[in-house]
Amino acid sequence: GATFTPIGTAYDVPFAGSYDGGGHVISNLSVSTEGANAGLFGYLKDAEVKDITIEGATVNSGANYAGAIAGVLNGGSISGCRVDENSNITSAARGAGGIVGFVRSGKISECASHAIMAAGTDVAGGVAGYLNTNAATNDILVINCTFEPVYKDGKMAAATLTTAAANAYMGGIAGSANAQDGMGQIRIANCY
């Protein structure tokens, strides 16, 4: 099938609006970028995305940040989204997440992922790959979210890392959470 170009591709060309999926299902989404920011949305800036189900997605970033819903969330929110077990999210470098690859600020709530993620160098997470605030006003909240890996051929199919990096991070909710002194807060609550 045809490859989908992400909506909003970079910091200077973001999606900055509101998208209500109305509970609809997007099937067989295929996204492949040579550079960063792969997903249904490549780069969200102060945007709202809600109530979308993704089934059978193949999302590949040729560099950093891949997620079924968004490559990057930089302000705003993602809520009520679901990604199924037949979805594969791959980042050639860092930041692969079932819902979003990289969060600079914003809120992810009531989301569920069953996707299989792979990051080439480091940072893979079931809901979000990389959480990293860089300003005192940048807060991140991940709340009421779930990651439930599935079993295929008798083995758990979940986040994987193929890396030569000395420090490689992965986790069920987030692969890495980094808030330096004086920067915004990162909170993960009521997740499993």
pTM: 0.93
Beta-bridge mates of residue 90? 60, 118
Residue 99 has φ and ψ, to the nearest 5°, of -100, -50
Angle of CA points 55, 35, 74, to nearest 5°: 70
In whole angstroms, what is the distance from residue 82 CA to residue 80 CA? 7
Helix (H) or strand (E) holding 161: strand 160-161
* Residues written for the chain: 192
pLDDT, tens digit, for every residue of 134-165?
899 999 999 999 998 777 777 776 655 555 56
List pLDDT tens digits, range 91-126. Answer: 999 999 999 999 999 999 999 999 988 888 889 999
